[in-house]
Amino acid sequence: MRSVGLKLLKNKLSEFVRLAAGGETVLVTDRNRVVAEIVPPRPGRKLVSEDEFTSRGVREGWLTPAKIPPGDPPPRRPVTTLEELLKDLDEARADRWEDR
């Protein structure tokens, strides 16, 4: 079992991850106090697919699914018409020219 400070861990993270992958436990310390452990993966551990992760999150209550169905978002109504926008732009430009 090895021990490493946060600063050294930050600079050589991949080295300590390789040690853990090889079966060694690495204790992470901050000001001489153990704050975390990097441990080897459990036997049979595999990557979790996105669907499994999402299903687990919803089941455990720490993830809320989107309220709109997958795909393109629903169409939005324009805030203003093009004519109104151009009119406002012309007015703003006219105000600027009057100030000169």
Give pLDDT tens digits for 7-62. Answer: 999 999 999 999 999 999 999 999 999 999 999 988 877 777 888 888 899 999 99
Predicted pLDDT at 69: 73
Residue 84 domain-assigned? no
Residue 88 domain-assigned? no
pLDDT tops 70 at residue 65: yes
Q: Which residue has the higher pLDDT, 77 or 35?
A: 35
Instruction: For Cα atoms 75, 80, 86, give the angle at the middle one, nearest 5 degrees.
Output: 130
Residue 73 domain-assigned? no
Residue 23 domain-assigned? yes
Domain tally, the chain: 1
pLDDT tops 70 at residue 100: no
Provide the CATH number for the domain around residue 9.
Answer: 3.40.1620
Cα dihedral 12, 13, 14, 17 sign? positive
Predicted pLDDT at 32: 92
Predicted pLDDT at 46: 76
